[in-house]
């Protein structure tokens, strides 16, 4: 039996392909139910628009604080290799009343070093810091493992005043401020999601939020995935993710 050995050119070509795959970064996502794979929010779809692997680790009901406290952040960090991107899009569950049953997840508004001691659901005392404090920790943690942190503004809720959609979301502003202070990339997902839903008007927009004013239906989460892409495209000269948009991503219309 004749044994055919692979040619040097084939070996070299295979090696080049393998090296390219190994060199390609991965995108990891830290977020909440507006992004989670369960139940098919925008993070489930974003990989369709990118040429790199996406690990969507968003979890329902989580804030920056509870994501850290419950060990989810450590898991994400352990999955983060040098050169990987980590997008943090939080705010919905940070912006809650610490005196209620949401005390286990809320953070203080702002980006300062202020703190308050709360009693958790287990009866323990915990010192709670500002939203900005937890974001700064996340940035430093990602950089410590060689990753590239990116902060993103949260998608808006479907809150209208007549025909005007609420566009002022303080926790998105806090994220932008922290990103500027830390000299890391900020993706203005909030701005472009607001623009998209505003263009639809309140009646049409409501059909995309069948159960409440925070969560899109699974199929309609594509809208928020595409506004994330739009936000990248509108700052393509500076966004580190722009080069990883695939043909579907580059085809997304961007009203910058």
| Percentage of the chain modeled with pLDDT above 70 | 91
| Residues 236, 249: Cα–Cα separation, whole Å | 12
| Residues 100, 120: Cα–Cα separation, whole Å | 10
Task: Please check whether residue 5 lies inside any domain of the structure.
Answer: no
pLDDT above 50: residue 66: yes
> Residue 114's CB: how many other CB atoms inside 10 A?
13
Domain coverage including residue 54: 26-250
Can you give the pTM of this predicted structure? 0.90
Task: Please check whether residue 110 lies inside any domain of the structure.
Answer: yes
pLDDT in tens, 73-92: 999 999 999 999 999 999 99
Non-local (6+) Cβ contacts of 177 within 8 A are 111, 132
pLDDT above 90: residue 219: no
| Residues 142, 144: Cα–Cα separation, whole Å | 5
Identify which of 76, 42, 87 has the alpha carbon closest to the alpha carbon of residue 241.
87
> Residue 190's CB: how many other CB atoms inside 10 A?
25
pLDDT above 90: residue 8: no
Mean pLDDT (whole number) for 245-250: 98
- What does the angle CA 165 – CA 169 – CA 170 come to, to the nearest 5 degrees? 155
In sequence order, what E strands does 115-206 have? 115-119, 125-129, 148-152, 160-161, 164-165, 185-187
Task: Please check whether residue 10 lies inside any domain of the structure.
Answer: no
pLDDT above 70: residue 113: yes
Q: What phi and psi, each to the nearest 5 degrees, are found at residue 16? A: -65, -40
Mean pLDDT (whole number) for 222-250: 97
- 123 is written with which tokens? 């009866």
Task: Please check whether residue 12 lies inside any domain of the structure.
Answer: no
Task: Please check whether residue 132 lies inside any domain of the structure.
Answer: yes
What would you report as the CA-atom Rg of the chain, rounded to the nearest whole angstrom?
20
Question: SS3 of 231, please?
Answer: helix
| 22 — pLDDT class (breaks 50, 70, 90) | low
Mean pLDDT (whole number) for 207-235: 96
Give the domain CATH number at 166. Answer: 3.40.50.1110
| Residues 181, 50: Cα–Cα separation, whole Å | 28
| Residues 198, 153: Cα–Cα separation, whole Å | 17
DSSP 8-state code for residue 15: H
pLDDT for the residue numbered 215:
96
- What does the angle CA 94 – CA 228 – CA 195 come to, to the nearest 5 degrees? 85
Task: Please check whether residue 4 lies inside any domain of the structure.
Answer: no
Domain count, the chain: 1
pLDDT above 50: residue 10: no
Task: Please check whether residue 130 lies inside any domain of the structure.
Answer: yes
Average pLDDT in the chain: 93
Task: Please check whether residue 15 lies inside any domain of the structure.
Answer: no
């Amino acid at each position: 039996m004749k044994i055919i050995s692979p040619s040097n050119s084939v070996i070299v070509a295979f090696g080049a392909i393998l090296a390219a795959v190994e060199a390609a970064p991965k995108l990891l996502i830290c977020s909440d139910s507006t992004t989670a794979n369960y139940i098919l929010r925008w993070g489930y779809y974003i990989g369709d628009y990118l040429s790199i692997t996406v690990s969507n680790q968003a979890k329902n009901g989580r804030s920056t604080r509870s994501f850290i406290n419950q060990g989810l952040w450590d898991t994400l960090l352990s999955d983060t290799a040098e050169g990987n991107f980590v997008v943090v899009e939080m705010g919905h569950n940070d912006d809650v009343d610490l005196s209620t049953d949401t005390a286990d997840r809320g953070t203080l508004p702002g980006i300062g070093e202020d703190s308050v001691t709360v009693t958790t659901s287990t009866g323990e005392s915990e010192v709670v810091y500002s939203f900005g404090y937890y974001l700064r920790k996340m940035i430093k943690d990602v950089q410590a493992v060689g990753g590239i942190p990116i902060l993103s503004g949260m998608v808006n809720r479907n809150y209208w005043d007549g025909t005007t959609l609420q566009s002022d979301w303080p926790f998105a502003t806090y994220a932008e401020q922290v990103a500027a202070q830390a000299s890391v990339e900020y993706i203005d997902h909030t701005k472009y999601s607001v623009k998209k839903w505003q263009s639809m008007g309140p009646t049409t927009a409501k059909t995309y939020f069948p159960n409440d004013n925070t969560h899109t239906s699974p199929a309609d989460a594509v809208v928020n995935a595409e506004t994330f892409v739009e936000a990248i495209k509108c700052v393509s000269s500076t966004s580190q993710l722009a080069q990883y948009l695939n043909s579907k991503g580059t085809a997304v219309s961007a009203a910058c």
